[in-house]
Amino acid sequence: MPKAQETVLEIDLKALKQNFEHLKSKLNKSTKFLAVVKAFGYGSDAVEIANYLQKLGADYFAVAYANEGVELRKAGITSPILVLHPIPANFKTIIEYCLEPNLYNAKVLKEFIASATQEKLNDYPVHIKFNTGLNRLGFGENDLNFIVSELKQTNAITVTSLFSHLAASEDLNEKEFTKNQIESFKAIAKTFINALGYKPMLHICNTSGILNYPEAHFDMVRSGIGMYGFGNSDKENKHLVPIASLKTIISQIHTIEKGESVGYNRAFVSDGSYKTATLPIGHADGIGRQYGNGKGFVIINETRAPIMGNVCMDMIMVNITNIDCKEGDEVIIFNSGLTAEHLAQSANTISYELITGISQRVKRIFLQ
């Protein structure tokens, strides 16, 4: 693999395929697989990821907002696309691009029915979400009669799926809570189906749900972080490969003497003689200020180099005092060996935040 000559995010599509197939191997053949590609494909590239997964046989895609779904449609994605957090202002766009909205409260349900009716639609596919404990989006169990009543008064929409979202499926200390969520969802679904007169698909499992609660796979599962190489546990991480490697180079090397400082606000003041390397990546690229002042680190010639001083917008400085390196050498921010999870933990955050925060100005390279 060629060495980096600039700041790049390498995306390994073979690793994506391996992760997809590993997660699929946990399912019954009849269980559908929904690939979550929101947030620019978890910071990689939603279009490239979705096109590749569509070829591999993903049944459904999910995005957070309508504009993300529009981008996929324009790029040739023909599979169904669930919009997880639709906003009424975007309902016309959702319909224009054949996206499928999650209807999660009375206002959104009524307004989407009105939009679909105005467009003279019949049986437009929608998804109904129930809140079973995450307390983020979703109808409550006491809304069942209202939902069914609204649905029976219109032919404009049809319910393609009922779903909910697990709050702590990766935390086995919360197993009782998760099982209660699953049982609550099953009870809601049974009542809903009996009242509605037909059975939509049911889904509640996210990546950790797929791995830890096979009894709740139902008709479809949803995977985001797992496809990108993180299983939310050391045990499962052994079977998954992080698909992204963030690399850069050394732009300049300085020698810092006692009393001199590094970076803005003189956040690092030298107590001796140091060598520093300046790298062309900063908080505008996704390496937040929380990684500065020795918390975060990079890898240069297989050796950790702590970040010195404050992270700048476009650059970071690292300590290379004991590292044999030169200007132009490759620097690893994270890869499949020293993962984004490791770097995120150094700043008391999670891999999700780090990988989704990689700026789109960082060049993407796709390894087939």
pLDDT at 236 (0 to 100): 85
Residue 52: phi, psi to the nearest 5?
-65, -45
Q: CA 344 from chain center: how many Å?
A: 15
Residue type for 359, please?
Answer: S
Residue type for 113, please?
Answer: I
pLDDT at 234 (0 to 100): 84
pLDDT at 232 (0 to 100): 82
pLDDT at 339 (0 to 100): 95
Which residues in the chain land under pLDDT 70? 1
Question: Please, which residues have CB within 8 angstroms of residue 223's CB and are 6 or more apart in sequence?
Answer: 23, 33, 34, 35, 36, 206, 207, 210
Judged on CB neighbours under 10 Å (0-12, 13-18, 19+), 257 is: exposed
Domains of the chain: 31-228 (3.20.20.10), 244-367 (2.40.37.10)
Residue with tokens 């219109």: 154
pLDDT at 2 (0 to 100): 77
> CB 331: neighbour CB atoms within 10 A?
25
Cite the active site residues: 38, 264
pLDDT at 237 (0 to 100): 87
Helix axes 46-56, 13-24, angle to 10 degrees: 50
Provide the whole-model pTM. 0.95
Long-range contacts at 55-58 (CB < 8 A, ≥ 24 apart)? 56/17, 56/20, 56/21, 57/33, 58/20, 58/33, 58/34
